[in-house]
Amino acid sequence: MTYAKHLAKNDHVDSFNVQLEPFEYEWASHVGTRRYIENWRKKDAPYYKKELMEDDRTAQVAAAVCELAVAKATNNYWSGHVWAADLHNVYKNKISDVGENIEVRRVRTGETAAVRKRDLGKGLILFVAKAIMPELRQVEIWGQIDYDKGWAIGEPAHYSPDDTRLVHRNQLKILDWPLLEERLRWWKRV
């Protein structure tokens, strides 16, 4: 079910759940596992605290599941991209998580999502989603925000205050049709 169909049936929602079909779950799991494998030798950012994090394999699969769920909800293409760690800099600014300009942040325990300074000025839309554990077959989409607006209203992150801001769940819109119509390039071609 897409956002539009769901919202046509509901007066108010503060999140939106997407159930993955078995074949969707299988593909997202494959993509997440491949990303995990490609990152085996990659060092974590200095502010990562392993003792507070889940294992990388679960995190990568959950992130891929969230990306696929957002693609399904917005009726957008998901490439399920995977590349070798040494090619990350080649592709990271060329391919969005979903469609042509959607970035997806997966949250696990908190109520905030990261907005990174390096991605400002690119016309991105940030979607925030939470994969439902332990099965990871259902995703709760918390909402969306214009990426640059998220930076403007977000709070500096304690772990990287100059480069990362955190937007709170209550700052997201579950569906912003004017933003989608303006920013999703596929919409204008239809």
Share of the chain above pLDDT 70, in %: 82
The label of the residue with tokens 């940030």 reads: 126
Q: Which of 121, 89, 126, 78 is nearest to 106 (CA)?
A: 126
Q: What is the pLDDT of residues 29-80, one digit of tens each?
A: 999 999 999 988 777 777 666 777 788 899 999 999 999 999 998 889 999 9
What is residue 46's DSSP assignment?
Answer: T
Q: Which of 130, 122, 117, 134 is nearest to 172 (CA)?
A: 130
Q: What is the pLDDT of residues 151-163, one digit of tens each?
A: 999 999 999 999 9
Strands 125-131 and 102-106: parallel
pLDDT for 186: 44
pTM score of the predicted model: 0.83
pLDDT for 165: 97
